[in-house]
Chain A
Amino acid sequence: MNKILSSTGMEIDIVPVEGELNVGPQHPGSGHMRIYVKLNGDIIDDAELDVGYVHRAVEKLSENRNYMHLIPLVERPAILDSIHMNLGYVMAVEKIIATDVPERAQYLRSFAAEVNRIASHLYGLGILGIFLGHSTAFMWGFGDREVWVTILEALTGARVTNSYIIPGGVRRDITPSIMDMTKKAIEYTRKKLLDWRKIFFYNPTIRARLENVGVMTKEKAIEWGAVGPNLRASGVPYDVRRADPYAAYSKLDFEIPVYKEGDGLARGLVRLDEMEQSMRILEQIIKEIPEGNILSDRFFKQIPPIRLKKYWEGQHRIVLPGYYASFRPPKGEATARVESARGELFYYLVSDGSPKPFRLRMITPSYRMIYPFKQLLKGSRFADLVSIYGSLDYFPPEADR
Chain B
Amino acid sequence: MTTLSELIKEFQSLKLQAKLESPNRATLVVDKDKLREIASLLKSKGFDHVISVTGMDYQEQSKLEVVYHFSSYTVEELKDAIVALRSSTSYEDPNFPSLYSIFESVWTGERETFETLGIYFRDHPDMRRMFLPEDFEGVYPLRKSFKIKLEGVFIDKPV
Interface residues of A (CB under 8 A from B): 51-52, 55, 57, 59-61, 63-66, 69, 222-225, 231, 236, 238, 243-244, 325-326, 335, 337, 344, 346, 348, 350, 358-359, 361, 363, 367-368, 370-371, 400
- In the complex, whether B107 has a CB less than 8 A from a CB of chain A is yes
**Complex CA distance for A108 and B53, rounded to whole angstroms:** 32
Query: B108, A371: Cβ atoms under 8 Å?
Result: yes
Interface residue from B24, B107, B153 paired with A371 (Cβ < 8 Å): B107
Task: Give the contacting residue for B73; candidates A57, A238, A350; CB below 8 A.
Answer: A238
For B52, give its contact among A243, A326, A346, A358 (CB under 8 Å): A346
- Distance in Å from the Cβ of B41 to the closest Cβ of chain A? 18
Are B80 and A52 in contact (CB-based, < 8 A)?
Answer: no
A59-B142, A60-B141, A326-B155 known; A368-B73 Cβ under 8 A:
no
Min C-beta distance of A177 to chain B, whole Å: 34
Q: Which chain B residues lie closer than 8 Å to A337 at the CB level?
A: 51, 82
Beyond A51-B131, A326-B155, is A348–B107 a contact (Cβ under 8 Å)? no
Is the beta-carbon distance between B142 and A51 smaller than 8 angstroms?
no
Interface SS majority for chain A: mixed
Residues in A neighbouring B52, C-beta threshold 8 A: 346, 348, 361, 363
Question: How many angstroms from the CA of A169 to the CA of B153 in the assembled complex?
Answer: 24
Cα distance, A274 to B47, chains bound together (Å): 27
Let me know if B49 and A223 touch, CB within 8 A.
yes
When chains A and B are docked, how far (Å) is the Cα of A60 from the Cα of B156? 18
State which residues 8-58 of B face A: CB under 8 Å. 24-25, 48-52, 54, 56
Distance of A236 Cα from B82 Cα, bound (Å): 18
Q: Shortest Cβ distance from B62 into chain A, in angstroms?
A: 16
- B155 neighbours in A (Cβ, 8 Å): 66, 325-326
Structural contact, A346 and B69, CB atoms closer than 8 A: yes
B82 near A51 with CB under 8 A, answer no
Quick check: B73 and A52 within 8 Å, CB to CB? no
Residue of A nearest to B133 (CB): A52
9 contacts between A and B (CB under 8 A): A52-B130, A60-B146, A64-B150, A325-B155, A335-B82, A337-B82, A363-B109, A368-B51, A371-B104
How far apart sit A61 and B142, CA to CA, in the bound complex (Å)? 10
CA distance A63 to B116 in the complex (A): 14
| Cα-based distance from A348 to B135 in the complex (angstroms) | 30
Please tell me if the beta carbons of A57 and B141 are within 8 angstroms of each other in the complex: yes
- Chain B residues with CB under 8 Å of A359's CB are 54, 56
Q: Determine which residue in B80, B105, B133, B141 has the highest number of CB atoms from chain A within 10 A of its CB, and name it.
A: B105
Assembly CA distance A236 to B51 (angstroms): 16
Residue of B nearest to A242 (CB): B79
Contact between chains at B25 and A335 (CB < 8 Å): yes
Contact status of A222 and B131, CB under 8 A, knowing A244-B80, A344-B51, A348-B69: no
Question: Quick check: A346 and B73 within 8 Å, CB to CB?
Answer: no
A371 and B105 in contact (CB under 8 A), knowing A243-B79, A326-B155, A348-B52?
yes
Chain B contacts with A in 101-151, Cβ cutoff 8 A: 103-105, 107-109, 116, 130-133, 141-142, 144, 146, 148, 150
